[in-house]
């Protein structure tokens, strides 16, 4: 039994999700306490509870403490079983975070899996469905994974109702080096659901004024959704892939502020000149540790990344080193 303090590092849900995935893949049970102690509302919320239930369902494992608000949980895994799964969070909780919990166990299962997730697709505190489809999964493909995702319906706070559908095939992960930067192109997509066009036009005006893009590089997409919503999605294409930056609008927040946050995040990525952004850096270490290793260059190391490294080392005998480079860049090297 591995004991894990959920308050370590940034003290959020990443410790729980990584622990669930690795527990199933390695067959090691764990107990986690002080769950999400670093958050305003500590303990299991609906999306975290669904991640636990999803993990239990794909492996037939045993769990104690799987209740709303629970701050301690014990999980005993079984082997992952390929199949068709549907997970409905019941709120606008993040479907993408639940998907990332079951992804690695199902990659290691013995057949093709189809997963449907219902809830939020664009959440302020989670990777968006766009990030998953355009940044995260292409990086996994470079590592040898075989998985696709489709956004069948978008979901915003408070009703959610978004639908993600994924297809996951078993794969052997290979080593990969993601160091190249090369030339870049910046373009944007403004997502609107039940909101007028002037919201998008105001956001585009800010993006054009502060980022190297023309009006033709900005697309407005209208989507059906249960709740009104808006997201500014800046995409930066570089040598090997795309960095996807998503800022989700909130009720009462001016469109100009939403766009300004996207500009700030895009500028930070462009200025450090590393191909892997801070959110992808969190998530690349795990598949490299489970596979044949690899390395990538990223910007400043975040608390999320440090926490994920510490959690991975609790389950896997793996060497993970951070090498400081010039400027604000770092290289992360993973050796199983």
Using the predicted structure, report yes or no on whether residue 37 has a pLDDT greater than 90.
no
Same domain assignment for residues 108 and 206: no
Assign residue 242 the CATH number of its domain.
3.30.360.20
Same domain assignment for residues 12 and 128: yes
What average pLDDT does the segment 213-218 reach?
Answer: 94
List the catalytic residue out of 122, 238, 272, 304: 304
**What are the Cα distances from residue 66, in Å, to 12, 63, 71, 204?**
17, 7, 9, 44
Using the predicted structure, report yes or no on whether residue 6 has a pLDDT greater than 80.
yes
What average pLDDT does the segment 27-39 reach?
Answer: 93
**Per-residue pLDDT, 38:** 82
Same domain assignment for residues 93 and 41: yes
Same domain assignment for residues 171 and 238: no
Same domain assignment for residues 141 and 41: yes
Of 109, 180, 94, 188, nearest to 147 (Cα)?
109
**Per-residue pLDDT, 181:** 82
62-64 and 229-237 strand pairing = unpaired
Same domain assignment for residues 244 and 154: no
113-119 and 162-169 strand pairing = antiparallel
Domain with 216 in it: 185-272
What average pLDDT does the segment 157-168 reach?
Answer: 97
Active site residue 198: no
Q: Out of 220, 241, 272, pick the residue that ends a domain.
A: 272
Q: Out of 272, 289, 313, pick the residue that ends a domain.
A: 272
Assign residue 304 the CATH number of its domain.
3.65.10.20
Question: Please, which pLDDT band fits residue 41 given cuts at 50, 70 and 90?
Answer: confident
Using the predicted structure, report yes or no on whether residue 119 has a pLDDT greater than 80.
yes
Using the predicted structure, report yes or no on whether residue 12 has a pLDDT greater than 90.
no
Please indicate, yes or no, whether the overall pTM of this predicted structure exceeds 0.85: yes
CA distance 279 to 284: 9
Contact 53, 28 (CB under 8 A): no
**Per-residue pLDDT, 240:** 83
Number of domains in the chain: 2
What average pLDDT does the segment 288-306 reach?
Answer: 95
**What are the Cα distances from residue 38, in Å, to 47, 62, 265?**
17, 26, 23
Q: Out of 239, 255, 272, pick the residue that ends a domain.
A: 272
First-to-last alpha carbon distance for the chain, in angstroms, is 22
Of 34, 52, 51, nearest to 43 (Cα)?
34
Same domain assignment for residues 153 and 257: no
């Amino acid at each position: 039994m591995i004991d894990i303090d959920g308050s370590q590092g940034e003290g959020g849900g990443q410790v729980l999700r990584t622990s669930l995935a690795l527990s199933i893949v390695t067959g090691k049970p764990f107990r986690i306490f002080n769950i999400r102690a670093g958050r305003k509302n500590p303990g299991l919320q609906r999306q975290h509870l669904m991640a636990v239930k999803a993990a239990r369902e794909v492996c037939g494992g045993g769990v104690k403490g799987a209740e709303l608000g629970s701050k301690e949980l014990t999980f005993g895994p079984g082997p992952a079983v390929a199949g068709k799964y549907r997970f409905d969070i019941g709120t606008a909780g993040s479907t993408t975070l639940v998907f990332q919990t079951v992804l690695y166990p199902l990659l290691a299962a013995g057949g093709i899996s189809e997963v449907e997730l219902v809830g939020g697709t664009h959440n302020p505190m989670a990777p968006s469905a766009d990030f998953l489809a355009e940044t995260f999964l292409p990086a996994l493909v470079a590592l040898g994974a075989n998985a696709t995702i489709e956004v069948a319906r978008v979901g915003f706070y408070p009703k959610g109702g978004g639908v993600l559908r994924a297809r996951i095939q078993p794969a052997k992960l290979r080593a990969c080096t993601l160091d190249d930067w090369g030339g870049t192109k910046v373009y944007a997509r403004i997502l609107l659901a039940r909101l007028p066009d002037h919201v998008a036009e105001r956001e585009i005006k800010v993006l054009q004024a502060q980022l190297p893009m023309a009006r033709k590089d900005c697309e407005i997409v209208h989507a059906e959704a249960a709740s009104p919503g808006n997201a500014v999605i800046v995409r930066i294409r570089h040598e090997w892939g795309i960095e996807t930056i998503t800022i989700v609008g909130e009720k009462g927040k001016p469109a100009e502020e939403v766009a300004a946050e996207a500009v700030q995040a895009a500028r930070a990525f462009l200025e450090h000149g590393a191909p892997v952004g801070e959110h992808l850096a969190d998530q690349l270490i795990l598949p490299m540790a489970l596979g044949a290793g690899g390395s990538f260059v990223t910007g400043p190391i975040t608390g999320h990344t440090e926490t994920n490294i510490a959690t991975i080392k609790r389950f896997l005998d793996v060497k993970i080193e951070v090498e400081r480079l010039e400027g604000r860049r770092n290289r992360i090297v993973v050796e199983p």
